[in-house]
Amino acid sequence: MTTIVTGGTGFVGSNIVRRLAEQGHQVVSIDLVEPDDMVLRYVAPWSSHVTWAQADILEPASLEVIGASHDVDKIVHAAVFTGIREDIERKDSRRIIDINVSGTANMLELASKLSIERFLYVSSGAVYEGLEDTGILREDLPLNPRGLYNSTKLASEHITHRYGELHGFDTVATRLSSPFGPMERVTGHRAVMSMLQQVTRYAIRNESIPPLPIGSWDFTYVLDIAAGIQTVLDAPKLSYREYNLGRGASVSTDDIVSAMRDADPVVTFQEQSDVEMEISSSRRVMDASRVQDDIGFLPEYDIASGLKSYMQWRQEFEFID
């Protein structure tokens, strides 16, 4: 089985590539940049199952050359411009739309020419932006996001499903909660790091962690995200077109502090500091029952075991950025 993964050298993408290769897929990673040494090391145990292809998803001709060189069964489209801040939206408005919408359309056009079995679009919990505080976030809620990134993710979900209907291939969108874990780093299309990336960066440098904001988040370890995507991708039958992927549980500031102290007993937290971490606002919990009930997927890591595993990975890879 051969699966194309776009954005395969990025944070979530490299974890998807690794998980699919581990589960026996022959993976063709398409990315604008070549894999760096860290990506190659991360995927090394399954390197015989991975082909790295350098191409721009905004150039259909390049995509067609890659597609024609492989007997492709499935596509996981994870390439994205994560422009979540207003200043980034203002500076790169057209680029966000081009990559996130036109890039998706180009991959769907490739899918139609290759007659694939299933196209999985990696969406985001950002599509729930702007909803009134009415409790847990379910897949069937009416959506009306305002931000450019948020809107392009929802638009691409709709485009994906319509393309599949018109051209006869199965489609599904996975809406990710807030991922954290190995391989999160600054790239050309990801400039804003998660709070837990910043927290563990202080810890791995043996620096005291600035005060954390009071709030709650829906953090999910990226290995669970990748496993969920693979489970949805390989499911014999899907009853729905959208699935939330997350733990379905809120993580508070106190939970993070406790988990970090468990992961690194010598870690310290400042009571006051002039340094402010760039933190996303609290996000309500995404309902994870649909993917659990329909195909039996359950995350393996909670916040404590996830942060412990993440710190171990940072130490093993000597990654302090």
The verdict on 50 and 109 lying in the same domain is: yes
**H or E segment to which residue 284 belongs:** none
The verdict on 174 and 184 lying in the same domain is: no
Please choose, from the candidates 71, 137, 136, 67, the residue with its C-alpha nearest in 3D space to the C-alpha of residue 106. 67
pTM of the model: 0.96
The verdict on 115 and 202 lying in the same domain is: no
CATH number of the domain where residue 22 is located: 3.40.50.720
Give the model's confidence band at 84: pLDDT under 50 very low, under 70 low, under 90 confident, else very high. confident
The verdict on 190 and 294 lying in the same domain is: yes
The verdict on 174 and 271 lying in the same domain is: no
The verdict on 63 and 150 lying in the same domain is: yes
- pLDDT tens-digit series, residues 114-155: 999 999 999 999 999 989 877 899 999 999 999 999 999 999
The verdict on 115 and 197 lying in the same domain is: no
Instruction: State the residue range of the domain holding 226.
Output: 2-179+220-245
Backbone dihedral region for residue 59 (phi beyond 0: left; psi -120 to 50: alpha; all else: beta): beta
The verdict on 266 and 172 lying in the same domain is: no
The verdict on 53 and 78 lying in the same domain is: yes
Please choose, from the candidates 316, 282, 291, the residue with its C-alpha nearest in 3D space to the C-alpha of residue 120. 291
The verdict on 281 and 313 lying in the same domain is: yes
- pLDDT tens-digit series, residues 185-205: 987 666 678 999 999 999 999
